[in-house]
Amino acid sequence: MSGVGKSVKRLDAYEKVIGKAKYPGDFNFPDELIMKILFAGVPHARILSIDTHAAEALPGVVAVLTAKDVPVNEYGLGIQDQPVLCGPGSEKEGADVVRFEGDHVALVIAENEQIAKEALKLIKVEYEILPLIDTLEKAIAPDAHILHPGRDSNIFHRNRVRLGSVDEAFEQCDVIVEGSYKTPVQEHAYLQPEAGVAFYDEEGRITVIVAGQWTHEDRKEIAHALALEEDQVRVIYPAIGGAFGGREDMTVQIILGLAVMRLRERGINRPVKIVWSREESIISHHKRHAYTMHAKWGANKDGKILAVKAEIWANGGAYAYTSTKVLGNATLLASGPYEIPNVAVDAYAVYTNCIPGGAFRGFGGPQANFMVESQMDKLAVALDMDPVELRWRNMFKEGSIISMGSVIPKGVSIREVVEKAALASGWEHTDQGWKRSTELVSNDPDIKIGVGFACGYKNVGFSYGAKENCGATIILEGEDEIEKAHLYHAGAEVGQGAHTVFKQFACEALGLPEEKIETHYSDTSNTLGAGSVSASRMTFMAGNSIIGAANLALEKWAEGNRPAYGSFVYRPPATSPMAPPDGSCYPNFAYGYVAEVAIIEVNTRTGKIEVKEFYCANDVGKAINPALVEGQIQGGVLQMLGYVLMEKFVTKDGKALSTRFSNYLIPTIMDIPERVIPLVLEYPDPVGPYGARGMGEMMCLPVASAVCNAVYDATGYRFDDFPLTQERVLQGIGKI
């Protein structure tokens, strides 16, 4: 192959290394104005009045905007339940209520940042404090205060799955294990805080330069809130300093557009810029959902799992964001990559006064996987069976029926990734089954060594009947031969190397060298919709769209068209929504498969857990750029080690205390395992581009499970929640 399968240098590598790459906060205009936000600062209250007169009178203040200035005061990817600005004067019912401390109350637009900050202090807001609903227990209590108007409950989404007869199956089980599990909030901790600049371009469009994950959805949300047609709004993504799902919903996009629109109405045609501090970012953008789960699993004496029952509660926080989609993943994955004939799952997403839960790498998968793979290890102990052997006896195969009653899509490779990870990390496979070949023992009596295994699978692409598609355009120039090819694609580059891979697809599909292809990315003015960089979908979807566009352009070229145009929208096999009463459906058109092994040391004197080796076997279908694949695996593993070992997000009375990296600890160079070993498998997906599967999230799912299983192996104590801080470990093993 001329383009794919090679570790070519990233397109953006040089400019990022030398500091030349421009992120949203790096765009400066000589006449720009600066915007600052007045955040609610209280988790639940009704705004009785807002007095902006003193702020407006401050020299250098150009405008102060409140809820009455928003044409359509609502937004939201799933449910449009969030006001752009909270306060009186809005037609949106309930917009006068703030529901978490990061809600936006007013915007100050000034000549510089210092003046804007001073003006914020002069705005007087009168609040009527409302009951604080900061836990699931409070939210679902019979007499709970209802957080959103028009609802009879704070439960805003439910999933119900029934396969077979669970209660009857439990009666046939020789072994039954139960467990209750909690997974915590996680901050995305991307290096670039939210920032952007807006202005009117030469064609009269509101243009917003911002970091996001879905250019055309950003445009749609901006246009909706401003009561404009979508073609009156333009969204451009420059370099983006990380996302991980944290940029999938709106942060500064709408308010930037609102600011320049209202200023122009007042005869002021100047760009408006905003850059959030780290504290502002942490309190106002969504987090990984905290989950509370209970599971009951039963098996016969031969290790065949006969029944699974699970209950899942997701803390959705103040607004819906992507909670319904995240819950959908967790509902499906609640029985793992295993053939289980009897499954019952009930899942709920609940409003609280917490920072909203939303998209985060893995999208509900890590939470469900922690429950599933903990249950698998508990079953293995109860059956006195090797944990890999138990999994081996129950794994999906081609033609397996999933919990939602449909046949799993072709290309099932869970057995291959499990085998690869197990063999690489010290297991052996004999006629008697799987077993570890060696036992690891430390010479230090305080150090206990443990080995933990976990595996999983996750969807590639949007689920449950979503209208999934992705477009690309290619233009070929030249006379006798193709001298230049232009690739236009909206897919976002959030640090994963997507734009490099897009170009590799174009090289391969067109049979052209890299230097003959010019790329044009992430600008709604000249690209077709590509969908979100989420759900491990962009390589899969973009690859198919680029191949389709290339084929059309080459056909036009062969017919003599100069230049030759090819625009193609790829639509994968259709999925379907969950149908009542049993949740039956065809939820996804493709999956990725992963297995991981953690080898750790637990210092029983200090409680410190040190990950010595971490193996990740990931079937990527086809590694379009092997170096980028390995980088994704290593980065994802480290991010999730932070999740399970140290990232403790602390709140009190509905307000975040962990508002900076000095009190919310993320992994550093000192926390990287001695060895992270990517084991890249290539079993082609039947409908993937050149066989490629999405893989950007797969490695994230089993990390917490593998580590906690390893801690049990080392200490004999099983943690059903985390993060495993040193204090928590010592408490668990009885040292404090």
pLDDT at 293: 98
Residue 12 to residues 20, 238, 267, 426, Cα–Cα distance (Å): 10, 11, 39, 39
Residue 2 has pLDDT above 80, yes or no: no
Q: Last residue of a domain, which of 101, 130, 159?
A: 130
pLDDT at 438: 81
Residue 191 has pLDDT above 90, yes or no: yes
139 found inside a domain: no
564 found inside a domain: no
pLDDT at 1: 61
Copy the structure tokens of residue 511.
């049979």
User: What is the distance, to the nearest Å, from the Cα of residue 492 to the centroid of all Cα atoms in its chain?
Assistant: 14
Question: How far is 558 from 353, CA to CA, in rounded Å?
Answer: 61
Domain count, the chain: 2
Question: How far is 280 from 254, CA to CA, in rounded Å?
Answer: 17
Residue 406 to residues 163, 403, 586, 689, 712, Cα–Cα distance (Å): 10, 8, 6, 24, 35
CATH number at residue 120: 3.90.1170.50
pLDDT at 736: 81
Segment 576-617, tens digit of pLDDT: 999 999 999 999 999 999 999 999 999 999 999 999 999 999
Averaged over 521-543, what is the pLDDT? 97
387 found inside a domain: yes
pLDDT at 439: 83
Whether the Cβ atoms of residue 704 and residue 712 lie closer than 8 Å to each other: no
Whether the Cβ atoms of residue 577 and residue 589 lie closer than 8 Å to each other: no
Segment 378-422, tens digit of pLDDT: 999 999 999 999 999 999 999 999 999 999 999 999 999 999 999
In eight-state DSSP terms, residue 145 is P
243 found inside a domain: no
Percent of the chain with pLDDT over 90: 98
Q: Last residue of a domain, which of 130, 162, 180?
A: 130
The secondary element (H helix, E strand) that includes residue 221 is helix 215-226
Segment 716-729, tens digit of pLDDT: 999 999 999 999 99
Averaged over 506-530, what is the pLDDT? 97
Segment 60-109, tens digit of pLDDT: 999 999 999 999 999 999 899 999 999 999 989 999 999 999 999 999 99
| Pick from 205, 343, 195: nearest CA to 277 | 195
Pairing of strands 427-430, 357-358: unpaired
Segment 413-455, tens digit of pLDDT: 999 999 999 999 999 999 999 999 888 899 999 999 999 999 9
Averaged over 626-636, what is the pLDDT? 97
496 found inside a domain: no
The secondary element (H helix, E strand) that includes residue 477 is strand 470-478
CATH number at residue 712: 3.30.365.10
For the chain, give the mean pLDDT.
Answer: 97
The secondary element (H helix, E strand) that includes residue 435 is strand 433-436
278 found inside a domain: no
Segment 277-326, tens digit of pLDDT: 999 999 999 999 999 999 999 999 999 999 999 999 999 999 999 999 99
pLDDT at 87: 98
| Pick from 473, 498, 654, 640: nearest CA to 566 | 473
Residue 126 to residues 123, 313, 519, Cα–Cα distance (Å): 10, 34, 52
Copy the structure tokens of residue 407.
């046949």
675 found inside a domain: yes
Beta bridge pairs of residue 451: 599
Coil, helix or strand at residue 699: helix
Whether the Cβ atoms of residue 125 and residue 105 lie closer than 8 Å to each other: yes
Place of tokens 């509900």: 364
Q: Last residue of a domain, which of 89, 110, 130?
A: 130
Segment 659-700, tens digit of pLDDT: 999 999 999 999 999 999 999 999 999 999 999 999 999 999
Copy the structure tokens of residue 122.
């002069």
Domain residue limits at 356: 287-397+407-463+580-732
- How sure is the predictor about 730, in pLDDT bands with cuts at 50, 70 and 90? very high
664-671 long-range contacts, Cβ below 8 Å, gap at least 24?
664/187, 664/189, 664/282, 666/187, 666/189, 666/642, 667/638, 667/639, 667/641, 667/642, 671/638, 671/641, 671/642, 671/645, 671/646
Residue 172 has pLDDT above 90, yes or no: yes
Copy the structure tokens of residue 425.
């990390």
In eight-state DSSP terms, residue 49 is E
492 found inside a domain: no
